[in-house]
C-alpha cells in the first residue's frame, strides 16, 4: 500500500491496448461496482476494456500510472465518450392554420463511465486527476455538458463529482432488472409482434421520440450496430403492416416499440458476496424450473458466476393498452435472452414513466440510478435560458444502450 504521507507523482496518459490491457483488467477486477457493491463488473473475458465506448461517435480511455515499490503501475482508469443528444424542445412557427410543430434542441453531450481507482491507492486525488483530464478532452472536442451515472448510495462517487468536480444531481431513473428463467414467458394473443427493418425503426424513432430527453441524433448508427439484435413492435392482432410511412400516417390505437442490445458481447456481470445457502437456493430453483417448465416457476439464473445481459431501449408507444403491449414486448425480449443464454434482461426508465410499474422486474436486482451533470466552459449557474441543468424532467428518457 502506498504511504499516504508521501506525495506520489501520478501520470495520466491515453490507454494503449497493446501494453495496458492486462494491468487494466487487474485493477478493474479489484474494484466492485454497481448497487451497494453487489453487482460487479467482470472484465477478464471479453477482450479490450475500451470496447464499452468504442461504438460511440468519439471516445477516449485514460489510465493513471505511478511508481509503486520501484515499479510503474496502473492504479486507475477512466472512459469517456461524446455524442449529440436532445436536451429540450422548441416549436416551429406554423403556417396559417397549422399547429406549432415540436422540434428537438440538440446539444453535444459527454459521458463519463468506468472510473476506477485501485483500492490500495484511493484518497490520493487520482480519481479527480482522471476526471479533470477527461473533461479537458471533452472541452477540446466541443462538448457542452458532461454527465455521469452512479448509485446514489455510492458516497465516494457522489462526493467526488458533486463535491469536487462541480456536478449537480440531475435525473434519477430506475434500472429494472429481471432474471432469465429456464422457461419461456407467454405472450398475449391480443398482439402481433413485428420485427422492423433498421430503416423503419429509425423513421419511427425520429418521428415519435426525437424530442425525448437524451435521444441520440445518430440513432441510425445505434440501430445498424452489430450489437443491436433488432427492433420490435407490438400492434393489435389483425393489423396489417405497410411500412413506417403508412404506420406514421395512421397508427393503430394501441402500439408499443422496443429495441434489444446485446451487452453480453461487450461485458459480463457477476453478483458477489452471496452465501453458500443463497447459492444453493438459487441452484434449486433452476433445477425445479428445468424439470417442471410447465409450472413456470420463478428461478434465479447463474448470477454468482459471470453472466450476460441484454439491454432493452427505445421503449415507447401510445394508447390505453400501451403498457400491456410493452409487457408483451418484454416477454419476447426475455425469450430472446433465453435463447442467447443470457442471465438477465434490463431496461432503464424515467422515475415518472408508467413503464416503471408495468415492466416485470425483481426489486432485489433493480436499483435507482443517479445522473449528475455539469456545464462545461461558460457557467450559467444563474439559471438563464438554455441551461439544461435547470430543466424539469420529462415523462420519459431515451437511454442509449452504448452507455449502459
pLDDT of res. 124: 86
Q: How far apart are CA 376 and CA 110, in angstroms?
A: 10
Nearest CA to 253 out of 191, 209, 187, 328 is that of: 191
The 3-state DSSP class for residue 326 equals helix
Q: How far apart are CA 19 and CA 15, in angstroms?
A: 9
Q: How far apart are CA 345 and CA 365, in angstroms?
A: 11
- Grid cell 452504448 — which residue? 402
Assess contact for 312 and 347: CB atoms under 8 A: yes
Residues in the chain: 404
Nearest CA to 229 out of 277, 271, 262, 191 is that of: 262
CA atoms within 13 A on the CB side of 12: 20
Residue 325 Rama label (left phi>0; alpha psi -120 to 50; beta) = alpha
pLDDT of res. 46: 52
pLDDT of res. 47: 58
Q: What's phi and psi for 362, nearest 5 deg?
A: -100, 125
Assess contact for 350 and 317: CB atoms under 8 A: no
CB count within 10 Å of CB 241 equals 13
pLDDT of res. 397: 94
Determine the straight-line distance between the first and last CA of the chain, rounded to whole angstroms: 32
Exposed, middle or buried: residue 7 (CB in 10 Å: 0-12, 13-18, 19+)? exposed
Assess contact for 312 and 260: CB atoms under 8 A: yes
Q: How far apart are CA 239 and CA 228, in angstroms?
A: 26
Nearest CA to 329 out of 341, 307, 313 is that of: 313
Weakly modelled stretches of the chain, pLDDT under 70: 1-8, 32-48, 271-282, 286, 294-295, 297, 303-304, 378-385
CB count within 10 Å of CB 291 equals 10
Q: How far apart are CA 155 and CA 114, in angstroms?
A: 16
Here the cell at position 103 is 422540434
Q: Is the pTM of this model over 0.85?
A: yes
- Grid cell 439484435 — which residue? 229
Q: How far apart are CA 400 and CA 213, in angstroms?
A: 11
CA 322 to centroid of chain Cα atoms: 23
- All structural domains of the chain: 11-166+369-396 (3.40.630.30), 176-365 (3.40.630)
Nearest CA to 159 out of 123, 119, 135 is that of: 123
Nearest CA to 64 out of 108, 114, 18 is that of: 114
Assess contact for 208 and 394: CB atoms under 8 A: no
Residue 319 Rama label (left phi>0; alpha psi -120 to 50; beta) = left
> Could you tell me what percent of the chain has a pLDDT over 90?
56
Assess contact for 259 and 232: CB atoms under 8 A: yes
Amino acid at each position: 500500500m502506498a504511504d499516504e504521507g508521501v506525495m506520489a507523482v501520478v501520470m495520466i496518459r491515453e490507454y494503449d491496448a497493446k501494453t495496458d490491457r492486462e494491468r487494466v483488467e487487474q485493477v478493474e477486477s479489484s474494484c466492485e461496482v454497481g448497487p451497494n457493491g453487489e453487482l460487479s463488473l467482470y472484465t477478464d473475458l471479453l477482450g479490450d476494456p475500451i470496447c464499452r465506448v468504442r461504438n460511440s461517435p468519439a471516445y477516449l480511455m485514460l489510465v493513471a500510472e505511478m511508481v509503486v515499490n520501484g515499479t510503474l503501475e496502473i492504479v486507475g482508469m477512466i472512459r469517456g465518450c461524446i455524442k449529440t443528444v436532445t436536451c429540450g424542445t422548441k416549436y416551429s412557427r406554423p403556417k396559417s392554420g397549422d399547429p406549432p410543430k415540436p422540434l428537438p434542441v440538440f446539444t453535444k453531450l459527454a459521458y463519463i463511465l468506468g472510473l476506477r481507482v485501485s483500492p490500495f491507492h484511493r484518497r490520493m486525488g487520482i480519481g479527480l486527476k482522471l476526471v479533470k483530464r477527461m473533461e479537458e478532452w471533452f472541452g477540446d472536442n466541443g462538448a457542452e455538458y458532461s454527465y455521469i451515472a452512479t448509485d446514489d448510495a455510492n458516497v465516494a462517487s457522489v462526493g467526488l463529482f458533486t463535491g469536487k468536480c462541480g456536478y449537480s444531481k440531475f435525473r434519477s431513473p430506475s434500472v429494472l432488472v429481471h432474471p432469465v428463467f429456464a422457461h419461456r414467458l407467454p405472450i398475449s394473443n391480443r398482439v402481433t409482434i413485428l420485427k422492423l427493418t433498421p430503416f423503419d425503426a429509425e423513421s419511427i424513432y425520429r418521428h415519435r421520440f426525437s424530442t425525448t430527453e437524451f435521444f441520440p441524433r445518430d440513432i441510425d448508427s445505434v440501430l445498424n450496430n452489430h450489437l443491436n439484435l433488432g427492433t420490435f413492435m407490438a400492434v393489435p392482432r389483425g393489423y396489417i403492416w405497410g411500412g413506417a410511412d403508412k404506420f406514421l400516417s395512421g397508427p393503430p390505437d394501441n402500439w408499443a416499440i422496443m429495441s434489444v442490445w446485446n451487452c453480453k458481447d461487450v461485458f459480463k456481470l457477476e453478483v458477489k458476496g452471496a452465501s453458500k445457502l443463497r447459492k444453493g437456493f438459487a441452484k434449486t430453483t433452476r433445477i425445479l424450473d428445468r424439470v417442471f417448465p410447465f409450472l413456470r416457476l420463478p428461478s434465479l439464473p447463474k448470477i454468482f458466476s459471470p453472466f450476460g445481459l441484454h439491454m432493452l431501449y427505445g421503449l415507447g408507444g401510445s394508447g390505453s393498452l400501451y403498457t400491456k403491449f410493452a409487457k408483451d414486448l418484454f416477454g419476447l425480449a426475455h425469450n430472446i435472452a433465453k435463447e442467447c443464454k443470457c442471465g438477465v434482461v434490463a431496461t432503464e426508465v424515467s422515475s415518472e414513466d408508467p413503464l416503471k410499474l408495468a415492466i416485470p422486474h425483481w426489486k432485489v436486482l433493480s436499483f435507482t440510478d443517479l445522473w449528475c451533470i455539469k456545464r462545461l466552459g461558460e457557467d450559467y449557474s444563474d439559471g438563464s435560458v438554455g441551461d439544461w441543468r435547470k430543466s424539469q424532467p420529462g415523462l420519459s428518457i431515451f437511454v442509449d444502450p452504448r452507455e449502459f
